[in-house]
Amino acid sequence: MIENEKLHDEAEELRKETAEAAPELAEHDHVAELEKQLEEAKSKALYAAAETQNVRRRLEAEKEQASSYAAAGFARDMLAIKDHLDRALAAVGDDLRADKTASNFLAGIEATSRELEAVFQRNGVTRINAVGEPLDPHRHQAMIEIPSDQEPGTIVEEMQAGYMMKDRLLRPALVGVAKKPD
Question: From the CA atom positions of the chain, what is the Rg in Å?
Answer: 38
Query: Among residues 180, 179, 177, 181, which one has the least CA distance to residue 156?
Result: 177
- The HSE-up count of residue 57 (CA atoms within 13 Å, CB side) is 6
Ramachandran quadrant class, 132 (left: phi over 0; alpha: psi -120 to 50; beta: rest): left
Rounded-to-integer distance, Cα 94 and Cα 84, Å: 19
CA–CA distance from 93 to each of 21, 23, 108, 111, 159 (Å)?
A: 113, 107, 16, 18, 20
Does the pLDDT value for residue 58 go beyond 90?
yes
Nearest CA to 96 out of 110, 113, 82, 114 is that of 110
- What's the pLDDT score for residue 26? 57
What's this model's pTM, rounded to 2 decimal places? 0.60
Share of the chain above pLDDT 90, in %: 26
More confident residue, 181 or 58: 58
